[in-house]
A = this chain, B = another copy of it.
Amino acid sequence: MSDVFSHPWFGGLFADPEIEHIWSAERQLAHMLAFEAAYSRALGKAGVVDVDTATSAADMIEAFKPDMADLRKGTEIDGLPVPALVRQLKHSAGPLLPAVHAGTTSQDVLDTALALTLRSVMDLLAERLTTLISELNRLNEAFGSNALMGRTRMQAALPITVGDRIATWRSPLEGHHDRVNYLRPMVARIQLGGAVGDRRPLGDNSAAMADFMAAALGLQRSDTVWHSTRENITEFADLLSLISGSLGKLGQDICLMAQQGLDEIKLSGGGGSSAMPHKQNPILAELLVTLARFNATQISGMHQALVHEQERSGNAWALEWMILPPMTQATARALSASIEMCARITSIGGVQTEQP
Chain A residues with CB under 8 Å of chain B are: 1-14, 20, 23-25, 28, 68, 71-83, 86, 101, 103-106, 109, 149-158, 160-161, 164-165, 167-168, 171-172, 175-176, 179, 182, 194-198, 200-201, 224-225, 228-229, 231-232, 234-235, 238, 241-242, 245-246, 248-249, 251-253, 255-256, 258-263, 269, 271-276, 279-283, 286-287, 289-290, 292-301, 303-316, 318-319, 321-323, 325-326, 328-329, 356
Contacts and interface: CB of A to CB of B under 8 A. Distances in A.
Nearest to A175: B231
Given A11-B72, A78-B273, A306-B245, A160 B196 contact: yes
Given A293-B304, A297-B323, 17 more contacts: A1-B28, A2-B329, A3-B326, A9-B74, A9-B75, A12-B71, A13-B80, A105-B276, A151-B309, A152-B311, A153-B286, A154-B310, A157-B279, A229-B249, A248-B307, A281-B314, A296-B307
A263 B310 CA distance: 14
A37 to B, nearest CB: 16
Contacts of A356: 200
Contact of A1 (B13, B14, B24, B105): B24
The 10 closest A-B pairs by CB, nearest first: A245-B306, A2-B325, A150-B196, A297-B301, A296-B303, A3-B3, A12-B76, A12-B75, A195-B275, A286-B314
B271 A78 contact: yes
19 contacts: A2-B20, A3-B5, A3-B326, A8-B71, A9-B75, A12-B76, A77-B271, A78-B271, A83-B272, A153-B286, A154-B309, A155-B260, A172-B231, A176-B231, A231-B242, A256-B259, A290-B314, A292-B303, A299-B299
A116 to B, nearest CB: 15
Nearest to A73: B12
A267 B168 CA distance: 30
Nearest to A117: B2
Contacts of A167: 224
A256 B83 contact: no
B231 A246 contact: yes
A155 B248 contact: no
Contact of A256 (B20, B104, B310): B310
A153 B294 contact: no
Contacts of A78: 271-273, 281, 283
A77 B149 CA distance: 24
Given A297-B297, A307-B245, A318-B287, A5 B8 contact: no
A326 B275 CA distance: 29
Contacts of A198: 150, 160-161, 164
A332 to B, nearest CB: 11
Contacts of A158: 195-196, 276
